[in-house]
Amino acid sequence: MRTGINHLFIPGPTNVPERVRQSMNVPMQDHRAHDFGAPNMGIFRDLKTLFRTQDGHVLVFPASGTGSWEAAITNTLSPGDRVLMARHGQFSVLWAQMAQRLGLEVELIDLAWGAGAPISEFAHRLGADRKGEIKAVFVTHNETATGVTSDIAALRRAMNEAAHDALLFVDGVSSIGCLPFEMDAWGVDLAVTGSQKGLMMPPGLGILGVSPKAMKAAETAKMRRAYFEFSDQVKNNETGYFPYTPPVQLLHGLRAALDLMIEEGFDAVITRHRRLAAGVRAAVQAWGLEVCAESPSLYSDTVTAIRTPEGVDARDVIKIAYDRYNASLGSGLGPLAGKVFRIGHIGDCNEGMCLTAIALAELSLAAAGATITFGAGVAAAQAVYAQHTQASIAMAAE
């Protein structure tokens, strides 16, 4: 018999704050009523602030992040278009599969799972593309499977230096709202996210930032689309409405989630994720284990993928945590199955939750056969959190 709550430490869906949950407990509404649209205008405005865009549109589809992937592709590209992509984790692999299924000619760069986006190789291939045959570059900003964050600003510089006009597609599903993200400053044309990660909501909303350049491309793109048609969304969104029945309760939740982030401050949210991640990584180091990311410059502040020691199956660690301690740890995906478990520190998360994740991971690792000194990881993370707290108190006193 299980008692207490399930400790959710996966990198998505993430924990939903009580205030957000309560905000969705409302009766159904008339989504064509004359007063329905006005509150949604504030949602679109605040999403643009979150994405850091002034001139772009942020569209909200009843879908997951995968739906936003498809909307981005089908609205801006045509069958047979050549696109450049890298595969170095589960979600970059899935995005490439979708592009191929939709009839694009996908030029692939395969890398080790744990590597970041290959900026120099992207630059080389774009520089060699004298005829501009590459119509788009796809990059996963934060690869949730491996705990790797890639440098989108560096990719934009490489594209500019190559004087290449390709569209820049960015999967920001586990980064937007948690990590620094600058849609306009980085020249991102299509920015994909979903409601179930940094926005602290249930799955169900696919959210897509669209630059003016991408909106222009949608006027001539020949790929078939209907449900995800940009022009239908934009026309209706101008007054806060949608081209079809929207998930009204999720819109209430989105409003509440954005309010929480605004109250904390978007920059403060990013700083909090950086602090929490530093504590988790200190714990991994204290255990004598390694993370999946190949170098510190690639460390993600939303999820840490931890390699289990030789002879210890990560699937056992995850099962023990779930069955004995009512705790959900993220599994290793694809070729990392059995080799990696993941701790998500994303969305509605704080130091106490991270310390609980670390403590339960220690118990589960030990039960699975790893040599672990109980409390080592917890103490290392506490030291990081205490140092940050003391620094914050000192700054406030100045």
CATH architecture of 7-13+265-397: Alpha-Beta Complex (3.90)
Give the pLDDT of residue 133.
98
pLDDT for the residue numbered 3:
86
pLDDT at 114 (0 to 100): 97
The whole-number average pLDDT for the span 5-9 is 95
Q: pLDDT tens digits for 253-291?
A: 999 999 999 999 999 999 999 999 999 999 999 999 999
Of 145 and 397, the one with more pLDDT? 145
pLDDT at 2 (0 to 100)? 78
Strand pairing category for 82-87 and 105-110 = parallel
CATH assignment of 18-263?
3.40.640.10
**What are the residue ranges spanned by the domains of the chain?**
7-13+265-397, 18-263
- pLDDT, average across residues 164-178: 98
Intrachain domains 7-13+265-397 and 18-263 with the same fold? no
Share of the chain above pLDDT 90, in %: 96
Question: What span, in angstroms and rounded, lies between the C-alpha atoms of 357 and 345?
Answer: 9
Q: What is the pLDDT of residue 388?
A: 78
User: Residue 190 pLDDT more than 70?
Assistant: yes
pLDDT digits (tens, 9 = 90+) for 89-103: 999 999 999 999 999
Q: Work out the pLDDT band at 1, boundaries 50, 70, 90.
A: low
Say whether pLDDT at 391 is over 80. Answer: no
Q: Residue 398 pLDDT more than 90?
A: no
Q: How confident is the model at residue 396 (pLDDT cuts 50, 70, 90)?
A: low
Residue 357: its pLDDT value, please?
Answer: 98
Given this model, what pLDDT does residue 139 score?
Answer: 98
Confidence (pLDDT) at 354: 98
- In this structure, of 85-94, 231-240, 325-334, 383-392, the range with the lowest mean pLDDT score is 383-392
Per-residue pLDDT tens over the stretch 129-162: 999 999 999 999 999 999 999 999 999 999 999 9
Q: Tell me what pLDDT residue 136 has.
A: 98
